[in-house]
């Protein structure tokens, strides 16, 4: 995950997790002549970081932030998945490509936010569906094409019923192996979906929630992408099936996390973590990074199975209890001041300038895009990847339009990405498993590189921002907080009106 010229020390993740090195060797006394974060900066530059955050991954060298992953490629945030590629936030899923936010699904392609689906292609926000194409907001449907807001339906095309024979005949006429046709149908489906109302938020089985993409949750306010949450505020991406409870201001992970405050990527049964950054199975930590199965530690980095440590140095319980309040006091008396003049005392998360990443390397830039100047003005790091020189062997326009006219030779080609402002290296290749999938599903090969495909996909995602609006159903006075801005084309309904019309 770290660029080659990163000043941080990187260990291959298997080595990092092994006992071939000892993070306690980097232990040091707290220095009362320097600000706390200055010393933290030194510590994180000296102690090694794991090359990737992965646990139990098999044959998945290019996956990160993942757990229990098998035979997968270019996945970020996968859990319990197998044979997947080019995905982001995939859980309990198999044999799927180019998907984002997939749960308990199989044989899926180019999807966003699906739950318990089988053979769903180019679809979004569907649940319990099989063999669907270009569907949006459908539930318990089978063999549907271009539909939206359907419940318990079969053989529908653009929300109209067909007989099984007619349906299959129509599907053949659509000729889904053609790249041109896929693009046309995609646009047609998008326009069709806009004619139908949608609920003010994506979420089900909730009690007292405000936010977007929230499911099975209770008392979850101002949050985004949460599953099984209770008593949360200002949290994002705590969306695995295991619950997250009593958390304020956390991004990522969860998985039976409790009582954390201002954390990033903390979970796996962790409890009472403040200002934590990638901690698993820990409790009573403050300002710890990359610590696992530790308790009662303060400002440590990379520890495993430790207790009563400060700056990677071992103390007795009594010494620990005496020193921690002194450090907190010192943090307030001699606060850290960042290069923008902002003051960081006890109670603040790590300053952004301690991040090993440039703002543009992180997903923050996907939600809140900034130019280089804006990012630097706000005190963030920035990193421009040196342009790699790859010679393409084929241009996207020269690839045969239909999958049936493409054979195995395509695997040897270096394909030029069809986006002239490519977000990646400008070229890409197909992996054999992926090509087999396209052939089997009878769908065209992509013309964009994986990075550009991801950029296209995230356009479907509603923003991490809320607007106060009124239900658009005539005569309904209901008001709500929604991530649909008032200038958008969608027809936005309150829950009651949506349920009455759609169910
Ligand atoms: Zn590209
Ligand atoms: Zn209404």
pLDDT at residue 388, as a whole number: 76
Say how many Å lie between the CA of residue 49 and the centre of ligand 1: 29
Ligand nearest to the CA of 446: 1
Say how many Å lie between the CA of residue 473 and the centre of ligand 2: 5
Contacts of 422 (CB under 8 A, 6+ apart): 449, 451, 452
Say how many Å lie between the CA of residue 211 and the centre of ligand 2: 18
Structure tokens at 234: 């200002």
Ligand nearest to the CA of 482: 2
Say how many Å lie between the CA of residue 386 and the centre of ligand 1: 15
Say how many Å lie between the CA of residue 447 and the centre of ligand 1: 9
Q: How many CB atoms lie within 10 A of CB 460?
A: 15
Say how many Å lie between the CA of residue 99 and the centre of ligand 2: 32
Using the Cα atoms of residue 366, residue 371, residue 373 and residue 377 in order, give the sign of their dihedral: negative
pLDDT at residue 387, as a whole number: 78
Say how many Å lie between the CA of residue 465 and the centre of ligand 2: 21
Contacts of 47 (CB under 8 A, 6+ apart): 9, 23, 26, 301, 302, 312
d(CA 209, CA 199): 14
Say how many Å lie between the CA of residue 450 and the centre of ligand 1: 7
d(CA 220, CA 228): 10
DSSP 188: H
As a three-state string, the secondary structure of 55-108 is EEEECCCCCECEEEEECCEEEEEEEEEECCEEEEEEECCECCECCEEEECCECC
Q: Which residues of the chain have pLDDT under 50?
A: none
pLDDT at residue 503, as a whole number: 82
The predicted model scores a pTM of 0.93
Say how many Å lie between the CA of residue 199 and the centre of ligand 2: 9
Distance of CA 66 to CAs 81, 99, 304, 389, 464, Å? 9, 15, 19, 30, 23
Say how many Å lie between the CA of residue 452 and the centre of ligand 1: 4
Ligand nearest to the CA of 200: 2
Say how many Å lie between the CA of residue 17 and the centre of ligand 1: 34
Tell me how far the alpha carbon of residue 300 is from its chain's centroid.
Answer: 27
Q: Among residues 235, 117, 208, which one has the least CA distance to residue 495? A: 208
Say how many Å lie between the CA of residue 180 and the centre of ligand 1: 18
Say how many Å lie between the CA of residue 478 and the centre of ligand 2: 5
d(CA 21, CA 15): 8
Q: Among residues 79, 174, 93, 75, which one has the least CA distance to residue 134? A: 174
- Domain boundaries defined on the chain: 54-199, 394-458, 467-501
Ligand nearest to the CA of 470: 2
Structure tokens at 18: 């092994």
Structure tokens at 385: 């990847």
d(CA 94, CA 102): 10
Q: Classify strands 343-344 and 336-337 as parallel, antiparallel or unpaired.
A: antiparallel
Say how many Å lie between the CA of residue 482 and the centre of ligand 2: 13
Ligand nearest to the CA of 494: 2
Helix axes 317-333, 36-46, angle to 10 degrees: 120
Say how many Å lie between the CA of residue 428 and the centre of ligand 1: 8
Ligand nearest to the CA of 427: 1
């Amino acid at each position: 995950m770290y660029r080659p010229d990163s000043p941080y020390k990187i260990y291959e993740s298997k080595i990092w997790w092994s006992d071939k090195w000892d993070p306690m060797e980097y232990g040091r006394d707290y220095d009362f002549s320097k600000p706390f974060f200055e010393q933290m900066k030194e510590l994180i530059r000296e102690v090694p970081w794991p090359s990737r955050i992965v646990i139990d991954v098999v044959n998945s060298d290019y996956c990160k932030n993942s757990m229990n992953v098998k035979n997968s490629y270019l996945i970020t945030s996968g859990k319990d998945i197998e044979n997947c590629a080019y995905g982001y936030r995939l859980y309990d899923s198999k044999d799927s490509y180019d998907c984002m936010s997939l749960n308990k699904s199989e044989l899926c392609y180019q999807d966003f936010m699906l739950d318990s689906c089988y053979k769903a292609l180019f679809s979004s926000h569907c649940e319990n569906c099989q063999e669907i194409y270009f569907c949006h907001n459908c539930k318990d449907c089978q063999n549907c094409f271009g539909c939206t807001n359907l419940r318990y339906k079969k053989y529908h095309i653009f929300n109209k019923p067909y007989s099984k024979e007619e349906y299959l005949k129509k599907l053949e006429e659509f000729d889904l192996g053609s790249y041109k046709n896929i693009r046309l149908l995609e646009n047609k489906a998008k326009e069709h979906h806009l004619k139908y109302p949608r609920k003010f938020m994506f979420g089900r089985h909730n009690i007292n929630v405000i936010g977007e993409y929230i499911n099975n949750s209770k008392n979850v306010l101002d949050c985004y992408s949460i599953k099984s949450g209770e008593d949360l505020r200002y949290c994002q991406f705590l969306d695995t099936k295991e619950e997250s409870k009593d958390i304020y201001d956390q991004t990522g992970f969860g998985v039976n996390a409790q009582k954390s405050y201002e954390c990033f990527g903390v979970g796996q049964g962790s409890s009472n973590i403040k200002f934590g950054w990638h901690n698993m199975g820990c409790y009573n930590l403050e300002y710890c990074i990359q610590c696992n199965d530790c308790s009662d530690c303060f400002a440590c980095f990379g520890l495993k199975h430790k207790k009563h440590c400060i700056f990677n140095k071992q103390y007795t319980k009594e010494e620990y209890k005496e020193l921690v309040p002194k450090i907190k006091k010192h943090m307030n008396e001699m606060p850290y001041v960042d290069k923008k003049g902002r003051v960081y005392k006890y109670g603040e998360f790590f300053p952004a300038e301690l991040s090993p990443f440039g703002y543009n390397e992180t997903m923050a830039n996907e939600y809140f895009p900034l130019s280089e100047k804006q990012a630097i003005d706000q005190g963030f790091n920035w990193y421009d990847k040196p342009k790699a020189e790859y010679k393409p062997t084929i241009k996207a326009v020269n690839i045969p339009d239909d999958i049936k006219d493409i054979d195995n030779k395509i695997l040897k080609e270096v394909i030029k990405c069809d986006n002239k402002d490519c977000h990646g290296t400008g070229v890409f290749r197909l992996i054999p498993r992926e090509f087999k999938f396209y052939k089997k599903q009878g769908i065209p090969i992509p013309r964009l590189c994986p990075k550009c495909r991801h950029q296209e996909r995230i356009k479907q995602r509603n923003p991490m921002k809320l607007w106060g609006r009124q239900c658009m159903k005539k005569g309904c006075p209901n008001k709500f907080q929604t991530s649909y801005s008032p200038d958008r084309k969608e027809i936005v309904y309150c829950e009651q009106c949506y349920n009455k019309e759609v169910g």
